[in-house]
Chain A
Amino acid sequence: MNPARKRTIRLTVALSAAVVLAGALIYTSFSASDPTVSPSQLIAQAVPGRHYELTGKVLAHSVRHEGEVLDFSVKDRAGEAAVPVRYTGEVPDPFKEGREVVVTVEKQDDKYVAERNSLITKCPSKYKTAPPKGKPY
């Protein structure tokens, strides 16, 4: 076989493989992904049995420990809508009221049950742009 024809065949095979792999990548990313929603979006569109990645702030005075279960509510970053979340698993150190969290939840009746160990809490100080605050003493 002449070298030019050989190179064309190799290139065609390589490009075809790349296209197939890219197609698989795109297909699986859409089929395996969880919608990222705020509490207000979750209230509006949650379907039982489907997983959602909920992002927002932990509502003040909403955190309750019941044995292994942690109950808390997540509210919109800039709004008032809030959803109750029932969580089990590791609780990140920075978790507390007012902090931004990301948690994967599923609607069950009127509650949102979190996937075990899915709670992520954002680190509060890194790259923050809040003005400095003085201490009272």
Chain B
Amino acid sequence: MASLGSGALIFALVVCAYGIGASVYGVRNDEDRWIESGRRAVYGLALVLLVAFIVIEVAFLKNDYGFNTVADTSSATTPLFYRAAAVWSSQEGSLLVWALLSSLWSSLALFLVKGKMREVAAYAAAILLAFDGFFIALAIFYANPFNTTSPKPLEGAGLDPLLRFPAMIIHPPMIYSGYTLCIVPFAFGMGALIARRVDTEWITATRRFALAAWLFLGVGIVLGALWSYSELGWGGYWEWDPVENAALMPWLMMTAFLHSAMIQEKRGMLKVWNSSLVLAAGTLAITGTFLVRSGVLSSIHAFGGATLGVPFVILIGLMIACSIYLVVSRREQLSSSHRLDSLFSRESVFLLNNIVLVGLCFVIFWGTFFPLISEMATGQAASVGAPWFDRYTVPLALILVLLSGIGPVIAWRKASVANVKRNFATPVLAALATLIVLLALGVTSKLFALVMFCLAAFTIGSVTQELWRGTRVRSNATGQVPPRALLGLVGRNRRRYGGYMTHVGIAMLFVGVAGSSSFMHAAEPRLSVGKSIDIGGYRMKYIRPTASVTAKNDAAETGATLDLGAVLRVSKKGRYVTTLRPSEGYYDSDEAGVPPESVGHLIAGTPVSHVTLSSNPLRNVWAAIEPDLQAPKLQRIIAAGNKTIPIDKPEDGMIALAVLAREYLAHPQAAKFNLRVQPLLMWIWIGAIIVAAGGLIALSPTPRTVVRRVSVRAARRRAESGLARA
């Protein structure tokens, strides 16, 4: 099996080389046969990589520890669900997944533009194959997923318990899809510049891929935040960690591009800007991949053993050099056919939105790479923390939310006073009403939150007004009831109304961020059974301990061998609110350095907080526990088990854990709790879902039949009204 996988990788590299050669030769010599052959090489590459992926996936599912990567990241006790996803938890597996996803998206893009943009598509195919070839070469020469060990180990190390969380199964493929999709517009942008075909055709052809990249990256980022909030036991969702930032930067660039592309499509403006944004987003996607795998920056994610820095630096250097050369050398073709008519226009708002997004991206880039920058400048590496990031990103976020409310209602070309009065009265009233209500409620201490709530109300008011007006017009014109008219309105122009929906989602998401960060109450008390603590108006009482032991080979849920926790009763002003059951899961370990102890070994893996929370739109009550496993009585049981139970009797070791669990229940020690009350946090997830739904709507094609039918009706009405006037 391993030789089949290795052979597939080598064949894939040959296919890449052939496809690049065929595409470039075809386009240079005007040979359609070769161009077509290059395109088919991309389809073939996807098939070959799919075979390689199936080989490694089967090895994981069959627990074939002869494969090094399987032995390293999976085990018989790793639940099947997580075993299937363990492929992308390792360096070598994730490289293969990256190349596979890239080849699949490339195939789809080239299939959809078949028969169009002959030259641009041929160059794009060559560039896409070059990226695939790069990742395949890394997989072959640096981190081969098909490397084997003989004799094969009897058991694997297991997937890190921290990664045994449902969101983490789909988070990496989402992020990889986002990164690889960023490469599609990059390749087409490059192709357009090389072929000197910089009109709107390449933008129209790849806009959906840019939108898909934006959507996948966004979903991946939110899933990562959800994992952090639900699994890491610290109660936060964002830490400005380099790996978080790595995904956010291309997302911001793609957001900017999706807005400015509209200006090029409508007015033929911003060609240099759009080309630069697409090229920057592609380069940042590769930079993000480099950050994760190079070991160049400190992060909560492990980079220590990663060795892929040099090849990535060379690739990124090439991407930047080629991008600059092409944009500069094609500046004449990229000159705009129109200029801004007024600063008070939708074009200007989009441009300002772009500047803010790029500024935000630059701030994050600077802060992320500051350890390297400071080392180069002063010889001493230094890093900036979350307060530094917040200082710049908070005001920029406020401006973005404001612009997302102005954009949908301001006129193209030039906004008149009448336009401003007509379109801004309702949103401004919504913001003022919100301000009055909040002031009446006494929300005066947190200025950022107060301003954000008002701006969010402005944006929601602006979009609601647009939807209401459109629905009313459609309802009057077609006789449909308003809900149906609304659906018809959205269905008729999915790109526009999907976009509006994302604006509402972003506003809600920022309401969640502002509320949860500005008004959070937190405490980390050590509580004994019967004791309680008051936090943010809630009383939390430690009622009783909980404990459970999972048989070692019973792959239940996350595969924890031991679970120790507590029952907390939450009340407010004496009235019962909810019951929380936080616990800490302990796992078997095969990590280097873990002593060969029959009982200690079974709980020496990374302990994982099983967070519990009570959530509603107004507030989250969140709890994690850190039981005192160092208590002398518990340690004595472990020591006695280690001494008396042979290492090759893990089942007996589990009995010792059962004794330990019983002792924990019978004589509960004080435990350390991490307790939080976070107002409005649920709006982060609600907002993210709305953003994703809006992205999906914008991504879905508008049915031509619907457009035609409505146009015919509208034409008939216009004709009738014209006749009536006459």
Contact = CB atoms under 8 A, between A and B. Distances in A.
A122 B302 contact: yes
Contacts of A32: 384-385, 387-388
A48 interface: no
A80 interface: no
A21 interface: yes
A35 B385 CA distance: 11
B648 A33 contact: no
A131 B156 CA distance: 11
Contacts of A131: 68, 72, 149
B149 A132 contact: yes
Interface in A94-127: 94, 96-98, 100, 102, 104, 117, 120-127
Nearest to A67: B526
A21 B232 CA distance: 36
What range describes how many residues of B lie at the interface? 35 or more
Interface in B227-263: 232-234
Contacts of A123: 160, 162-163, 300-302
B151 to A, nearest CB: 9
A80 B382 CA distance: 23
Contact of B383 (A53, A68, A93, A98): A53
Contacts of B303: 122, 127
A120 B392 CA distance: 23
B160 A29 contact: no
Residue of A32, A33, A130 with highest tally of chain B CB at under 10 A: A33
Interface string B327-342: 0000000000001000
Contact of B306 (A102, A127, A136): A127
B232 A128 contact: no
Question: Looking at A96, A131, A135, which has the most chain B CB atoms within 10 Å of its CB?
Answer: A135
Contacts of B302: 100, 122-128
B525 to A, nearest CB: 9
Contact of B154 (A90, A92, A135): A135
Contacts of A102: 298, 300
Interface residues of A, number: 51
B159 interface: yes
A40 B68 CA distance: 35
A122 B387 contact: no
Contacts of A36: 298, 371, 381-383
B587 to A, nearest CB: 11
Contact of B590 (A65, A98, A126, A135): A135
A121 to B, nearest CB: 7
A55 interface: yes
A79 interface: no
Contact of B374 (A33, A98, A122): A33
Given A25-B363, A34-B383, A134-B71, A129 B388 contact: no
* Main SS at interface, chain A: loop
B72 A128 contact: yes
Nearest to A96: B606
B608 A93 contact: yes
A90 B611 CA distance: 14
A33 B382 contact: yes
A33 B306 contact: no
A137 B606 contact: no
Given A55-B298, A92-B234, A122-B302, A133 B383 contact: no
Given A36-B381, A53-B383, A135-B590, A28 B388 contact: yes
Interface string B294-331: 00001111111111000000000000000000000000
A135 B153 contact: yes
A47 interface: no
A132 B65 contact: yes
A93 B233 contact: yes
A91 interface: yes
A127 B156 CA distance: 16
Contacts of B299: 122
Interface in A19-54: 21, 25-26, 28-30, 32-36, 53
B609 interface: yes
Nearest to A119: B234
A90 B647 contact: no
Contact of B153 (A35, A120, A126, A133): A133
Nearest to B670: A67
B647 A136 contact: yes
B668 interface: no
A125 B73 contact: yes
Contacts of A90: 233-234, 524, 674
B90 interface: yes
B154 A127 contact: no
A129 B307 contact: yes
A29 B377 CA distance: 12
Nearest to B674: A90
A67 B370 CA distance: 36
B609 A132 contact: no
B612 to A, nearest CB: 15
B655 to A, nearest CB: 16
A104 B383 CA distance: 10
Nearest to A126: B302
B596 A133 contact: no
A122 B68 contact: no
Contacts of A30: 374, 377-378, 382
A117 B235 CA distance: 12
A28 B68 CA distance: 46
Nearest to A64: B630
B466 interface: no
Contacts of B301: 122-123, 126-127
A134 B153 contact: yes
B591 interface: yes
A25 B362 CA distance: 10
B157 interface: yes
Nearest to A21: B359
B206 interface: no
A4 to B, nearest CB: 10
Interface centre among A25, A121, A129 (most CB of B within 10 A): A129
A132 B593 contact: no
B346 to A, nearest CB: 18
Contacts of B391: 28
Nearest to A7: B339
Interface in A48-84: 53, 55, 60, 65, 67-68, 77
5 contacts: A91-B626, A93-B607, A125-B89, A125-B157, A127-B91
Given A92-B300, A123-B302, 19 more contacts: A7-B339, A25-B363, A29-B384, A30-B377, A30-B382, A33-B383, A34-B385, A60-B593, A68-B672, A93-B162, A100-B302, A104-B385, A126-B301, A128-B305, A129-B91, A133-B71, A133-B153, A134-B154, A135-B590
7 nearest CB pairs, A to B: A134-B153, A132-B71, A125-B160, A33-B382, A135-B155, A129-B305, A36-B381
Interface of B: 65, 68, 71-73, 89-91, 94, 143, 149, 153-157, 159-160, 162-163, 232-234, 292-293, 298-307, 339, 359, 362-363, 366-367, 370-371, 373-374, 377-378, 380-385, 387-388, 391-392, 524, 526, 584, 590-593, 596, 606-609, 626, 630, 647-648, 650, 672, 674
